[in-house]
């Protein structure tokens, strides 16, 4: 064979090899409108949220700093470092990357070696000595291996998004719990003041009964009110301690119910522009995780369908053998060989079709779950927007109520100072004022909670 013929043969062989190695292209991942059309074909997504009163794009910034709360920032940093859920998700990310590496290994040739050295046989010679080096490479003609690798990558993407969702949920839960604990710390103080005022009212009523100015029924009523106030104090203090322990657990500490450094609640930031509904589909990590799960399931189904097609592998090997027991014609022997293997499933008792049906069902379930997650996300945003708007209005009403109640208390104290009323009326107004202030504090906590719920619903990072 001359040089030109050899060169042409190599070129033709290389061309055919490239065709074989390129194989069939695999499907691109589903996303965006194509994914929504399959998961929610009848859903008409509006151009803006119905409960929003502010228009404009979402400000993509770390929302935690909007509250200017140094103690909260320190607690969040501690939780992200110490909470067990974060470490669990980090380990799962490592698992996912290992699965990608394992699946990707099938794209490369496998290489193995076998060696043998024989012992002495009798007294006249030795056993066989030799080795064999073999290589095997499955040609991914139909895309089975590539679908497997793509599925592993989508699975890793889902795990990464789920870790982001876990971090977001942890920060949101911790933030709301810190403010709840602060609010309850202040409410516990007010409830204790209420219990003391109710006890004083009962004492004054008992004194009046001794001089005939009050009845025994009035004394019993006053004492029952004092007991109710004391019970309310116990309930609020227990709730406070539970909230404090919840904070400590979230940051990875032992739950001692240690009071927080601050009892102040941050001011509610100005209203947020939520953007358009489709924005959250690319911001919320739980939606991105559900999208990746859909694609992972579809790639797994495609991989199972490839099992019906023949597997073609290239093989090559080199061997060497030597023996002083058997007479080798030309001394030690070596050989080099190449070949191809074809494996075609003919009858599996329906196992392949059953596996395909199972994976198809998994893909449809993942698709339906994506639609569910998207609908829930839209609901989360609308509810949070409406909740914050409602609490802003309620806060104004509560603040007005507290202002007037404090004025009533001042008027009552003035009337007592000139002898128009007795001291019991002052204790009654103290209880009403404290109760109103408890409602105001709880309203502040609820308004801040709705803002955090909105940030969680919109997605995005809470920290820089």
User: Cα angle vertex 442, ends 175, 246, to 5°?
Assistant: 40
Residue whose entry in the numeric block shows the structure tokens 């022997």: 333
DSSP strand pairing (129-139 vs 125-126): unpaired
- For the chain, the average pLDDT equals 83
CA 440 to chain centre: 33
Structural domain including 56 reads: 32-108+140-309+344-458
What's the DSSP call for residue 162?
H
Domain membership of residue 303 (yes or no) is yes
What's the DSSP call for residue 24?
S
What's the DSSP call for residue 329?
T
Domain membership of residue 338 (yes or no) is no
Domain membership of residue 449 (yes or no) is yes
Domain membership of residue 320 (yes or no) is no
Domain membership of residue 45 (yes or no) is yes
Q: What is the pLDDT of residues 398-450, one digit of tens each?
A: 999 999 999 999 999 999 999 898 899 999 999 999 999 999 999 999 999 99
Q: How many domains does the chain have?
A: 1
Q: Please report which confidence band the pLDDT of residue 91 belongs to, taking 50, 70 and 90 as the band edges.
A: confident
Q: What is the pLDDT of residues 117-126, one digit of tens each?
A: 555 444 444 4
Please report, for the domain that includes residue 190, its CATH number.
1.20.1600.10
C-beta of residue 274 within 8 angstroms of C-beta of residue 49: yes
Domain membership of residue 27 (yes or no) is no
Domain membership of residue 433 (yes or no) is yes
The pTM of this model reads: 0.79
Q: What is the pLDDT of residues 191-201, one digit of tens each?
A: 999 999 999 99
What is the Rg, in whole angstroms, of the alpha carbon atoms belonging to the chain?
Answer: 37
Domain membership of residue 22 (yes or no) is no
């Amino acid at each position: 064979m001359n040089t030109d013929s050899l060169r042409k043969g190599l070129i033709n062989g290389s061309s055919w090899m490239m065709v074989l190695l390129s194989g069939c292209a695999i499907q691109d991942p589903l996303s965006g409108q194509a994914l929504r059309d399959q998961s929610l074909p009848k859903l008409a997504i509006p151009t803006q949220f119905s409960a929003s009163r502010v228009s404009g794009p979402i400000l993509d910034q770390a929302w935690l700093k909007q509250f200017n709360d140094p103690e909260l920032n320190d607690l969040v940093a501690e939780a992200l470092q110490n909470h067990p859920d974060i470490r669990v998700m980090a380990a799962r990310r490592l698992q996912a990357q290992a699965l990608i590496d394992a699946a990707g290994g099938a794209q490369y040739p496998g290489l193995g070696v076998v060696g043998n050295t024989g012992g002495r046989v009798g007294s006249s010679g030795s056993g066989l000595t030799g080795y064999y080096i073999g290589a095997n490479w499955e040609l991914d003609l139909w895309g089975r291996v590539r679908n497997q690798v793509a599925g592993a990558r989508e699975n890793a993407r889902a795990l990464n998004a789920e870790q982001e969702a876990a971090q977001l949920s942890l920060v949101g839960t911790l933030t709301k719990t810190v403010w709840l604990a602060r609010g309850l710390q202040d409410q516990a103080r007010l409830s204790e003041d209420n219990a003391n005022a109710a006890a004083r009212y009962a004492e004054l009523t008992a004194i009046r009964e001794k001089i005939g100015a009050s009845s025994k029924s009035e004394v019993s009523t006053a004492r029952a009110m004092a007991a109710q106030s004391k019970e309310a104090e116990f309930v609020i203090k227990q709730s406070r301690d539970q909230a404090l322990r919840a904070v400590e657990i979230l940051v990875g500490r032992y739950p001692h119910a240690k009071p927080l450094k601050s009892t102040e609640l941050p001011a509610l930031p100005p209203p947020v522009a939520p953007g358009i509904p489709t924005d959250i589909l690319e911001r919320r990590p739980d939606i991105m995780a559900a999208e990746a799960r859909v694609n992972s399931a579809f790639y797994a189904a495609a991989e199972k369908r490839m099992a019906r097609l023949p597997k073609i592998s290239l093989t090559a090997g080199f061997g060497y053998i030597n023996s002083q027991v058997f007479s080798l014609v030309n001394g030690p022997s070596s050989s080099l060989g190449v070949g191809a293997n074809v494996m075609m499933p003919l009858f599996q008792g329906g196992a392949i079709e059953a596996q395909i049906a199972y994976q198809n069902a998994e893909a449809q379930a993942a698709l339906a779950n994506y639609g569910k997650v998207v609908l829930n996300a839209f609901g989360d945003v609308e509810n949070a927007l409406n909740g914050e708007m409602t609490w802003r209005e309620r806060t104004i009403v509560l603040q007005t109520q507290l202002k007037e109640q404090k004025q009533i208390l001042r008027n009552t104290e003035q009337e007592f100072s000139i002898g128009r009323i007795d001291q019991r009326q002052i204790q009654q107004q103290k209880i009403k004022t404290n109760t109103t202030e408890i409602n105001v504090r709880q309203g502040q906590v609820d308004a801040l909670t709705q803002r955090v719920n909105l940030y969680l619903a919109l997605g995005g990072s809470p920290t820089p």
